[in-house]
Structure 1
Amino acid sequence: MLESILRFSIKRKFLVLVMVLAVAGLGLWNFTKLPIDAVPDITNVQVMINTEAPGYTPLEVEQRVTFPLETALAGLPGLTYTRSVSRYGLSQVVAIFSDKTDVYFARQLVNERLSAARAELPAGLEPQLGPIATGLGEIFMFTVDAAPGATHADGSPITPMDLRTVHDWTIRPQLMRVPGVVEVNPIGGFEREILVAFKPEKLLAFGLTQADVVDAITTNNQNRGAGFIEQNGAQWLLRMPGQAEDIAVIADIPLRSDKGAALTIKDVADIENGQGLRTGAATQNGREVVMSTVFMLIGENSRTVAHAVGEKLKEINTTLPEGVVATAVYDRTTLVDKTLVTVRTNLLEGAILVIVVLFVLLGNFRAAFLTALVIPFAMLMTVTGMVQTRVSANLMSLGALDFGLLVDGAIIIVENCLRRLSQAGNNPLPLKERMQLVFDATREVIRPALFGVFIITVVYLPIFALEGVEGKMFHPMAITVVIALLSAMLLSVTFVPAMVALLFKKPVKEKHSPLIRGAAALYRPALTWVLKGRWLVVIAASALVLVFGYQASKLGSEFAPNLDEGDIAMHALRIPGTSLSQAIALQETLEDKIKQMPEVERVFAKIGTANVATDAVPPSVADNFIILKPREQWPNPDKPKAQLVEELAALVEPIPGNRYEFLQPIQMRFNELLAGVRSELAIKVFGDDFDSLA
């Protein structure tokens, strides 16, 4: 079979060239479709179910909401386990499925079970599925704040409620339309409500109940359609606008007629603008703001989506009310770009080094150029394979590529062809003889050349047996390397011999570079000496293996080195039961301290639970994001990040009522989604008696 492929490639060399160029073009097109991220996504397949239960205590939430939902999910196909959090006013159930389960199929299964479970829940409670996102889904964060000294036209200050209203009604709807965005999740500020405060003595005097007032407001706060009428050949639609537009309209809603006078809402209640109870807040640089997190749809390109969100936010800023500003505080594009620069630099330096070595050692420009062409063509074929296998371009998948391995087979084939062509004499060979000579030269070495590359490929196959988190971490690396090696093998069998037959028309004189001649001169006496004292060499080599093997056993080990994301995530834990207002005061004090560090550009935090409870935590828990300045702006650019974290810990430890965990943004999110806790190490206590467990 190999000989047939070789004959076809050499005989139809122009066709092979066109086919390779077409595959390269396909690779360029696929490059625009290739997902790009900093690290592989190791999140398991999970579906989050959030149920708001206003007024319910944690015990009631567990008994009346969480337990029925977890019971309803039991027995789902592919379900591995469920975990849940029951806290005041909120139930969160997370269903974890096997890695082979499609996330959309899992959500469909959960939705079907929820339809049946709703009948067992208290009236008015509606379970909602969380966003279709993963641990890499939080790609963009921004704040909505008032500019310094900004006020309304009447001179009144811009309140947190005003900022939240601008976010919910102006910013969020536009960002939700950005391709790839699945959720825009706000936290902080106050949602506007109209407060109707009953006067019990008035209700009693008029013989009314609270339900009567609620029914009156509901009935008289609706727009209704009234059909249509025909007049002069035209059809006119009729509508009855009845929706209240301000507080005064609600105050004048009639309850009943009392002795010819209308009894209205304002006669039995006080109506005023109010604000809803909130379970979370946000701060930045020591002051309260409205903050929002943009979630990316699973499988999208984080760099593209984050960039699109940033551009859209700039556009939205031009339409906001005067004095209100939306500012990006975290952008995944920054980390991805830094990672891409690292990968690009490493790949480029590796490619240049391999090409230089080829030119130096082969001693023939055309031969070195032909061998070097295998690198870009194999990489473009690899990109196509990555897109088809849904592998993203990241530090793990691209960092393992070795260009020396890609050209290994091509070097052997090209060098043997040059040797045979130089032996053919100084006269140009006819086309038929040249093609036959290239065929014979390639056939001589094709099997050992491919076998060497194949052995390296086989080394990566056991990685595909890994499962769970380790599989998600290392599968992209193995897939990318195997595709690249197979692409290089295919090019070595087809493209390389075809191009040798096409490019080397003139006589070839085999010559070795001075480096090769010098190495050969040193190697001959060394080889003679080694063969004479072979037993001594074997014993010495065995001793070295034992010594270094012992040293290797003393080395520490870890699953994978942490990626330096450039920023710091600080998990602040306060005394359980801390109120939201007290947590905000503690947080502002904490941020004032952190801002004193010259390496810190800004610090912001999310306290408690956001609007969509992706992190169901109480007000006593805060996630701090410490964005660092570029290293060249640090007083000591060479300071290790670990030392900076130690200095930060020493700075904030004296603040009473706080405990801290220092992580990184993506790392913290992965920990939360995989294990339900943010820290690297956690202890879970199981039992039936909640009082005893507490």
Structure 2
Amino acid sequence: FSRIGTSEVATDPMGVNVSDTYIMLKDKKDWPKDSGKEKSYETLVEEMLARLELEVPGQNYLASQPIQMRFNELLEGTRADVAIKVFGNKLEENLEVAEKIQEIVSKLPGSGDVELDLAGTSPVLRIEPLAEGMSRYGTSTSEVLEAVSIAMGGEEVGHIFEEEKRFPLLIKLAEEERGNLDVIRNIPVLLTNGVTVPLQKLAKVGFEETFGSITRENGARRAAVLVNLRGRDTESWVVEAKAKIAKELKLPEGSYIEWGGNFKNLEEARNRLLVLTPIALILVFFMVYAAFGNLLETGLIFLCIPFAWVGGILNLYFHDLTFSISAGVGFIALSGIAVLNGVVLIGFFNSSMSEGKSGLEMIKEAASSRLRPVVMTALVAIFGFLPMMLSSGLGAEVQKPLATVVTGGVFTSTFLTLFLLPMLFSFIEKSVSKSNFKVSHH
């Protein structure tokens, strides 16, 4: 189904010249095969847009998810994943620069939909009251504009009743006459003495080429190039696009470019993670140290984190997923699980040493006895996140990166914790036995 015309609510940023068409897809198993292979969403979108451009040319098409598009509009004022905003005082220059940027970025790999947010000029009816004419006939600007308002927009002059129904009676020019310049110029304007004068004697009437809408942001005029990506991550595309634009485009004096859309939100969230993640890891480090009282053991436990991250990164690579904020949250959760496994194993080593055991036999016995708890912890996490990792329905783009990181990381972390950590502990066993540590029972 489609929606066209004015928006349903005043807070909806959609203009009256934009229509939304919602397409409900069938189950993916019912889709026709593409050369014997399953058709991807990207291929389907490309085929749909190609068919639309062939049968309904002259329109700008932008394919997106409805909720994602609305969030982009509300947060950034644009309807796309990446918005390249051009600011300047002259609209003509902004439009010219935006068209050049559109030409440059449309050639980059991964560019799906590339369109301009600022439409070109169009003929607009301009009625400019003339001071000399109004002074001669003794009328005012308000009287001239009132006559134009009634003729073009209409005015309610009464009602027609039909049984219990009431219908407003409007007076205005006919539809075909409202586009006739000669008729508009001869609209009668009523003077105070009851005489009418043609509009052309009181105002300058004509069509002129101008912009239908002027978009401003932070008080500055702007145009924008809207880009939806397909088959490529946002960050690498933006890095390449920035280099390409800087090399091939020279901005006019007073103009500048800003990058918005999902890329801006990704950068802000990533910068926050770069601050919060080290703080969280430092706090965990001090908590582990408070429990064991030994820097060597604490450092050994924290070695489980890079073990886990290796698996998370490899799993993202094998599933052809890029780093996102969801994946970043997954790495933080994965770090906690990895530290927990290390705490369980090192704590049991300390318990065995407190009973007078030592050497490789003690390490082998402790590792064997902790095999089941560590593996069970890993399996619970893997089986819990596996449905999210394999999901393909609504919300999968958020769940999948997080689950992929956790499942891959827990697998490698468990393997390396059970085999590599005991080997490393054997090198520091003597140092640990001589120091004063706190015994933890698990």
TM class by shorter chain equals 0.5 to 0.7
Compared CA separation, residues 332 and 92, structure 1 to 2 (3 A): closer
Compared CA separation, residues 188 and 142, structure 1 to 2 (3 A): same
Alignment correspondent of 2:191: none
Aligned counterpart for 2:315 among listed residues 371, 379, 385? 385
Judge conservation of contact 2:301–2:342 (CA < 8 Å) in 1. yes
Alignment correspondent of 2:116: 186
Alignment correspondent of 1:300: 232
Amino acid at match of 2:229: L
Alignment correspondent of 1:474: 399
Aligned residue for 2:230, secondary structure, equals coil
Compared CA separation, residues 455 and 166, structure 1 to 2 (3 A): closer
Say if 2:25 is the partner of 1:97.
yes
Amino acid at match of 2:342: A
Q: What TM-score, normalized by structure 1, do the two folds share?
A: 0.39
Question: In structure 2, how many angstroms separate the alpha carbons of the residues matched to 1:463 and 1:166?
Answer: 43
Alignment correspondent of 1:84: 2
Q: What TM-score, normalized by structure 2, do the two folds share?
A: 0.58
Alignment correspondent of 1:281: 213
Amino acid at match of 1:381: G
Amino acid at match of 2:319: T
Alignment correspondent of 2:420: 495
Compared CA separation, residues 192 and 404, structure 1 to 2 (3 A): closer
Aligned counterpart for 1:164 among listed residues 74, 80, 95? 95
Question: In structure 1, how many angstroms separate the alpha carbons of the residues matched to 2:110 and 2:46?
Answer: 20
Q: Deviations over 1:522-568 (max 9, x none)?
A: xxxxxxxxxxxxxxxxxxxxxxxxxxxxxxxxxxxxxxxxxxxxxxx
Aligned counterpart for 2:85 among listed residues 121, 136, 142? 142
Aligned residue for 2:115, secondary structure, equals strand
Question: In structure 2, how many angstroms separate the alpha carbons of the residues matched to 1:189 and 1:452?
Answer: 57
Judge conservation of contact 2:311–2:405 (CA < 8 Å) in 1. no
Q: Deviations over 1:283-342 (max 9, x none)?
A: 22598956122314224332343354445555556x345x57243273654432321132
Amino acid at match of 2:2: S
Q: Deviations over 1:473-532 (max 9, x none)?
A: 43433333333322321222222122223443668348443xx79xx9xxxxxxxxxxxx
Question: In structure 1, how many angstroms separate the alpha carbons of the residues matched to 2:108 and 2:120?
Answer: 25
Q: Deviations over 1:615-666 (max 9, x none)?
A: xxxxxxxxxxxxxxxxxxxxxxxxxxxxxxxxxxxxxxxxxxxxxxxxxxxx
Judge conservation of contact 1:307–1:333 (CA < 8 Å) in 2. no
Query: In terms of mean alpha carbon deviation, does 296-305 or 85-94 score higher?
Result: 85-94
Query: How big is the shift at 1:441?
Result: 1.9
Query: How big is the shift at 1:361?
Result: 1.7
Aligned residue for 1:97, secondary structure, equals coil
Aligned counterpart for 2:255 among listed residues 310, 325, 335? 325
Aligned counterpart for 2:104 among listed residues 174, 177, 180? 174
RMSD: 4.3
Q: Structure 1: any 5+ residue segments left out of the alignment?
A: 1-82, 148-159, 194-273, 521-694
Amino acid at match of 1:347: T
1:226-625 equivalent positions in 2, closer than 5 A: 281-284=213-216, 289=221, 291-310=223-242, 312-315=244-247, 319-320=250-251, 323=253, 325-328=255-258, 330=260, 332-399=262-329, 401-402=332-333, 403-421=335-353, 423=355, 434-461=359-386, 463=388, 468-504=393-429, 508-509=433-434, 511-513=436-438
Judge conservation of contact 1:144–1:289 (CA < 8 Å) in 2. yes
Q: Deviations over 1:420-465 (max 9, x none)?
A: 456557xxx8xxxx43432222112211232234334444456568
Aligned residue for 1:330, secondary structure, equals strand
Instruction: Give identity over the alignment, percent.
Output: 14
Alignment correspondent of 1:560: none
Query: How big is the shift at 1:353?
Result: 1.9
Question: In structure 2, how many angstroms separate the alpha carbons of the residues matched to 1:326 and 1:291?
Answer: 11
Question: In structure 1, how many angstroms separate the alpha carbons of the residues matched to 2:42 and 2:228?
Answer: 15
Question: In structure 2, how many angstroms separate the alpha carbons of the residues matched to 1:276 and 1:289?
Answer: 18
Alignment correspondent of 1:245: none
Alignment correspondent of 1:256: none
Alignment correspondent of 1:106: 44
Question: In structure 2, how many angstroms separate the alpha carbons of the residues matched to 1:408 and 1:341?
Answer: 27
Question: In structure 2, how many angstroms separate the alpha carbons of the residues matched to 1:507 and 1:473?
Answer: 44
Question: In structure 1, how many angstroms separate the alpha carbons of the residues matched to 2:114 and 2:304?
Answer: 45
Amino acid at match of 2:424: M
Question: In structure 1, how many angstroms separate the alpha carbons of the residues matched to 2:84 and 2:356?
Answer: 69
Question: In structure 2, how many angstroms separate the alpha carbons of the residues matched to 1:108 and 1:315?
Answer: 29
Query: How big is the shift at 1:382?
Result: 1.1
Aligned residue for 2:255, secondary structure, equals strand
Question: In structure 2, how many angstroms separate the alpha carbons of the residues matched to 1:388 and 1:327?
Answer: 36
Aligned residue for 2:367, secondary structure, equals helix
Question: In structure 2, how many angstroms separate the alpha carbons of the residues matched to 1:166 and 1:410?
Answer: 56
Amino acid at match of 1:97: L
Q: Deviations over 1:36-83 (max 9, x none)?
A: xxxxxxxxxxxxxxxxxxxxxxxxxxxxxxxxxxxxxxxxxxxxxxx3
Amino acid at match of 1:493: L
Judge conservation of contact 1:163–1:189 (CA < 8 Å) in 2. no
Compared CA separation, residues 133 and 494, structure 1 to 2 (3 A): farther
Amino acid at match of 2:44: A
Question: In structure 2, how many angstroms separate the alpha carbons of the residues matched to 1:109 and 1:331?
Answer: 25
Judge conservation of contact 2:388–2:403 (CA < 8 Å) in 1. yes
Aligned residue for 1:481, secondary structure, equals helix
Compared CA separation, residues 349 and 324, structure 1 to 2 (3 A): closer
Question: In structure 2, how many angstroms separate the alpha carbons of the residues matched to 1:163 and 1:192?
Answer: 16
Amino acid at match of 1:369: G
Query: How big is the shift at 1:371?
Result: 1.1
Amino acid at match of 2:25: F
Compared CA separation, residues 181 and 144, structure 1 to 2 (3 A): farther
Compared CA separation, residues 130 and 379, structure 1 to 2 (3 A): same
Question: In structure 1, how many angstroms separate the alpha carbons of the residues matched to 2:437 and 2:241?
Answer: 57
Question: In structure 1, how many angstroms separate the alpha carbons of the residues matched to 2:49 and 2:259?
Answer: 35
Compared CA separation, residues 98 and 481, structure 1 to 2 (3 A): farther
Compared CA separation, residues 291 and 383, structure 1 to 2 (3 A): same
Alignment correspondent of 1:42: none
Aligned residue for 2:88, secondary structure, equals strand
Aligned residue for 1:378, secondary structure, equals helix
Judge conservation of contact 2:294–2:437 (CA < 8 Å) in 1. no
Judge conservation of contact 2:307–2:409 (CA < 8 Å) in 1. no
Q: Structure 2: any 5+ residue segments left out of the alignment?
A: 6-15, 29-38, 73-79, 124-206
Query: How big is the shift at 1:107?
Result: 3.8
Compared CA separation, residues 275 and 187, structure 1 to 2 (3 A): farther
Compared CA separation, residues 328 and 311, structure 1 to 2 (3 A): farther
Judge conservation of contact 2:382–2:410 (CA < 8 Å) in 1. yes
Alignment correspondent of 2:130: none
